[in-house]
Amino acid sequence: MTSFNKMLATIEQQAAEINTFATRLDAAYKELESTNARLKETSFKDEVTGLYNRRFFSLRLEEELSRYRRFNHPVSVVLLDLDGFKAVNDEFGHTVGDDTLRDVAQILMKHSRGINVVSRYGGDEFAVLLVETSKAGARLYADRIREVVAKYPFSHGKIITASFGVASLPDDEAGTAEDLFRAADEALYTAKRAGKNQVAATPSPQRVL
């Protein structure tokens, strides 16, 4: 083999090694991207129910308010709090309590559109962001969920009910995402005080004729 052929063989070998290294590097990069995507997804999900968590809900609420300001599409927030859930945990334990939360999560997902954001906000409280939904539509949605929850055959055999608070734009004077959420929370408190197992909404402004 001439020195030229030896040099050519060496170059070809080095090129093959570089190509192998590049392939491995590309595979490692794709695996890293996949891992990061899974981590990001996990950071937005509630471990018990698999729903989105408070962090993701808050981010999406901010986005929808920005969209509302641009296009004036209605947006509603529905808060749901289970009535007497602590008694379930106390009597049957947290495992059964978690099963109950998962059942409620499935009910919410089954009766929600794909563009809506269903989240477990914390404890036995759930928050639903209803995109392009008026206050009237949000109340109908909440009342439908209320009826399904009240009739649902939970594994522990007890009847579980839920109270709901509804707030919407443009009906409510909410300048920020925090304002809109607070309005829904106040409506939820009204439903609780009024006897639970019902839907309450912030009062719509009176029109001057």
Catalytic residue check, 90: no
Q: Report d(CA 209, CA 204) in Å as an integer.
A: 15
- Is the CA virtual torsion 166, 50, 125, 84 positive or negative? positive
Residue 171 backbone phi and psi in degrees, to 5 = -60, -45
Beta bridge partners of residue 201, listed in sequence order: 166
Nearest to 125 by CA among 96, 82, 181, 88: 82
**Vertex 169 angle, CA 122 and 196, to 5°:** 45
> In angstroms, rounded to a whole number, what is the distance separating the alpha carbons of residues 169 and 76?
6
* Residue written as token pair 């197992």: 197
Looking at 46, 81, 124, 185, which residue is catalytic? 124
Catalytic site positions? 124
